Chains A and B, each alone.
Chain A
């Protein structure tokens, strides 16, 4: 992290960039939050460790409107989102100085807590430099340990790889943490009967409190005005009193981001109710791959997105890929 901070300081000092988009320490050792830094003084709060799961790409939409360049720290998987936003003309590449930061898998505090670890005072082993295989957690009830892999976010178990898709420079090493198949969970649901599927989604989606966290964090949900917030549409802000509403919200959202979702997993990471929202998006990705050939949104800015580009080889309705 020291190398990263000194490089950031240098870039701020020589005016290459006017501000920095990174993470600052939160009130707990496991909840750093996205933040702007404009001076060397601000940077004292800067942090980058295993808990910095937040994808900063979306913040670049607003940062692109500011004067001068913004330095943005992007993990390998975040760069897919950034590319997708370039493709959609939502961010200005010229306004960004991208430091591709190393990543060895990001941690999910809920998974640590689920192991009965409570009263956390500090955590060691989550530092980005030489990240350990085991986390040592100092709690009010003594020191506990937890395997790093067991504490990883779901998305890191299906990591897209350690390569950054776009960057100006890379600082730190990355690791491909994948140890599972991205579509296993989807295949399980596909195998269910219609009744089972309905029951599954009913159970999951009925937890929704319509806090909009998934939408607000989603880099693909970058509309100036969301259809759910606009009085131009009858879908706007319907009271969350009918089961229709919570189901339709997530299904409409899944349709809106279909073909554009990079599977960054932020929706599921931020959901306070623990709804596996990424499953909707992955179903679309799986189908797109099956129908139009493998496609990873955000891997290549110039690639033609299958859902919005016609080719003569496209499958016909009723044909299965």
Chain B
């Protein structure tokens, strides 16, 4: 039998205001194994920890239960305190009576009852705890950044500047990401490319950074400090070493029907292409879906005109396998599809566009060479209506419940730029709220209204009706004047909601990193660990974690880099001793556990087993504890119950359930 001490924390009034801590102490003393119980105002304080140490010494405690906050907050604190006082740190269990009890209940009697039950469950578990010892694993001093937008570039630069090797994997032919598609940036209105391209060049030139463009992460195995990643380098059909980037191939290519991804499909590109002029690397790729040579075997013009002899139609996809100590996800965003918002006539009229399309139209390298014109007839628009929150802050399930955060500011930017360059154009913005929290953001928005005369209307647009003459009839409501509005527009710009890039789901699954219902990656703690995934060794940079603008993205990218550097600076990591362990006598050798193990930690061996005197060679499971992450998938899949998780054994869990149900 263990000698268990129970320590009940008040957490100031966080717990004590809702839970009668004295009563918890009094009742928990009656539990089998409990030889000591006391309460204290702040158990996590020096004085509180000392109380635990004293009790261990004086009462000869072998197990500890701390009734306090979530184990994610202070489990490590109390384990260290116990270890210092001479007992195994894994003999400590936390009963979470704050997040799961006092914070969510109002009635003191009920909350106290629940706190006692939670404490009882923890005592029941500690009664079955056994000392555990962590192992060690080595750290591969190399980081992987998935995504080559501004988030990925900045993270890579910061890690590389600290002296560690970084690989960037970017699925498109060039790094640069969404920021490279933007014309100007708020709130300073400087040219996006002008501030981005130097960073792209820095990344490409950095001796510690290695960029894989036109590549995708295919497979991830391993764990923090020791990931093994397969990267698929898609066939480019152009030799990167030979190509000089002269661009002749793109001029001569006869197949010019592919929609330009970079210009959001507003114009066409050739089958062999670099997405934009400042692309890095400045080496084109051949789009196999459009290349006449690759499709029919005829043509081959680019090969003929290439002075460098860089065209290679026989190139195949290549798999590169590399080890990494840390992985940063920086996969960014895309705008949502607008097929569920047909009331805005996006699919019916060429003159209803998204804000990202407007960026391309306003950009000198865009489909209209920077002239503001209607895509339907090339005429200069006189009346432009912007509609905010298309799919953002949506209460039904057509769109997103969240605020996309950047739209208010870029719409103010677009409105201001248009009014500046074309003062005769009337600009109207329909909005729910204008949200401008950020340095110099509100001033920026006010300038749009006050200096540039942008007409802001609080209200939503119900319908955009394309008229026979090509005009757009916008029907909306002005909530402040409480009146219906009908106005004619030549162009309607939709601030479509942003959502995580579609590939993030697959990547998150490969990394076993959790994502929320909107496919944003979840952070380890929303306030205190915002750039870390709950999966150790996986870090988050940029919009993949939640909507943010460029300055926030860059700040988070730097923060993620510091976390990576902090990890890579270590030579060894302590491994979690709560790993799976098979009972060889019960093992059927069926391989179910090996099938479900996401870490490849389980193998099978033929082993001589002495089963109560019967000696026979059996196929039994064997767990590599360095690879096992203690997820427990095997323990629930095992039909014979032979697989058990140390520190969370089936028996312990049943004991907890029994204690709760008693």
Chain A interface (Cβ < 8 Å from any Cβ of B): 65, 88-90, 222-227, 230, 232-234, 256-257, 260, 305, 308-310, 312
Chain B residues whose C-beta falls within 8 Å of the C-beta of A223 in the assembled complex: 586, 588, 639-640
Chain A residues whose C-beta falls within 8 Å of the C-beta of B509 in the assembled complex: 312
Q: Does B619 contact A (CB under 8 A)?
A: yes
Instruction: Using known A-B contacts A223-B586, A224-B588, A225-B586, determine if residue A308 contacts B640 with beta carbons closer than 8 Å.
Output: no
Chain B residues whose C-beta falls within 8 Å of the C-beta of A226 in the assembled complex: 640
Chain B residues whose C-beta falls within 8 Å of the C-beta of A310 in the assembled complex: 596, 598
B640 to chain A: closest residue by CB: A223
Please indicate which of the listed interface residues A224, A234, A309 has the most CB atoms of chain B within 10 Å of its own CB.
Answer: A224
A55 to B651, CA, bound (A): 35
B644 to chain A: closest residue by CB: A232
CB atoms of A89 and B591 under 8 A apart: yes
Chain B interface (Cβ < 8 Å from any Cβ of A): 506, 509, 583, 585-592, 595-596, 598, 604, 611, 616, 619, 637, 639-641, 650-651, 654, 658
CB atoms of A88 and B592 under 8 A apart: yes
Taking the nearest CB of chain B, how far is it from the CB of A123, in angstroms?
39
CB atoms of B590 and A89 under 8 A apart: yes
The contact of B595 among A222, A224, A305, by CB within 8 Å, is A305
Chain B residues whose C-beta falls within 8 Å of the C-beta of A65 in the assembled complex: 616
CB atoms of B596 and A308 under 8 A apart: yes
CB atoms of B619 and A89 under 8 A apart: yes
CB atoms of A230 and B586 under 8 A apart: yes
Chain B residues whose C-beta falls within 8 Å of the C-beta of A232 in the assembled complex: 583, 586, 641, 651
Taking the nearest CB of chain A, how far is it from the CB of B386, in angstroms?
35
CB atoms of B586 and A224 under 8 A apart: yes
A77 to B626, CA, bound (A): 43
Instruction: Using known A-B contacts A227-B640, A230-B641, A234-B654, determine if residue A308 contacts B586 with beta carbons closer than 8 Å.
Output: no
CB atoms of A225 and B585 under 8 A apart: yes
Contacts A234-B651, A256-B639 supplied; 9 other A-B pairs, CB < 8 Å: A88-B590, A88-B592, A224-B611, A225-B585, A226-B640, A232-B586, A308-B592, A309-B595, A310-B596
CB atoms of B595 and A227 under 8 A apart: no
B611 to chain A: closest residue by CB: A224
Taking the nearest CB of chain B, how far is it from the CB of A281, in angstroms?
14
CB atoms of B506 and A312 under 8 A apart: yes
CB atoms of B591 and A88 under 8 A apart: yes
Chain B residues whose C-beta falls within 8 Å of the C-beta of A308 in the assembled complex: 592, 595-596, 637
Taking the nearest CB of chain B, how far is it from the CB of A174, in angstroms?
29
Instruction: Using known A-B contacts A256-B639, A312-B506, A312-B509, determine if residue A90 contacts B616 with beta carbons closer than 8 Å.
Output: no
B598 to chain A: closest residue by CB: A310
Taking the nearest CB of chain A, how far is it from the CB of B652, in angstroms?
11
A90 to B604, CA, bound (A): 13
22 contacts between A and B (CB under 8 A): A88-B590, A89-B589, A89-B590, A89-B591, A90-B588, A90-B590, A222-B588, A223-B639, A223-B640, A224-B585, A224-B640, A225-B586, A227-B640, A227-B641, A232-B583, A232-B651, A233-B641, A233-B654, A234-B658, A308-B592, A310-B598, A312-B509
Chain B residues whose C-beta falls within 8 Å of the C-beta of A224 in the assembled complex: 585-588, 611, 640
Instruction: Using known A-B contacts A233-B650, A234-B654, determine if residue A88 contacts B588 with beta carbons closer than 8 Å.
Output: yes
Chain A residues whose C-beta falls within 8 Å of the C-beta of B585 in the assembled complex: 224-225
A65 to B611, CA, bound (A): 15
Taking the nearest CB of chain A, how far is it from the CB of B610, in angstroms?
14
A257 to chain B: closest residue by CB: B639
A85 to chain B: closest residue by CB: B590
The 4 A-B pairs at the shortest CB distance, nearest first, are namely A88-B590, A223-B640, A308-B595, A256-B639
A309 to B598, CA, bound (A): 10
Chain A residues whose C-beta falls within 8 Å of the C-beta of B639 in the assembled complex: 223, 256-257, 260
A230 to B638, CA, bound (A): 15
Taking the nearest CB of chain A, how far is it from the CB of B373, in angstroms?
43
Chain A residues whose C-beta falls within 8 Å of the C-beta of B596 in the assembled complex: 308, 310
Chain A residues whose C-beta falls within 8 Å of the C-beta of B658 in the assembled complex: 234
Chain A residues whose C-beta falls within 8 Å of the C-beta of B619 in the assembled complex: 89
B637 to chain A: closest residue by CB: A308
A65 to B589, CA, bound (A): 14
B509 to chain A: closest residue by CB: A312
A310 to B594, CA, bound (A): 12
Taking the nearest CB of chain A, how far is it from the CB of B573, in angstroms?
26
A61 to chain B: closest residue by CB: B588
A257 to B604, CA, bound (A): 21
A229 to B427, CA, bound (A): 78
A318 to B637, CA, bound (A): 21
A227 to B596, CA, bound (A): 20
Chain B residues whose C-beta falls within 8 Å of the C-beta of A222 in the assembled complex: 588
Taking the nearest CB of chain B, how far is it from the CB of A245, in angstroms?
15
A233 to B592, CA, bound (A): 20
Chain A residues whose C-beta falls within 8 Å of the C-beta of B637 in the assembled complex: 308
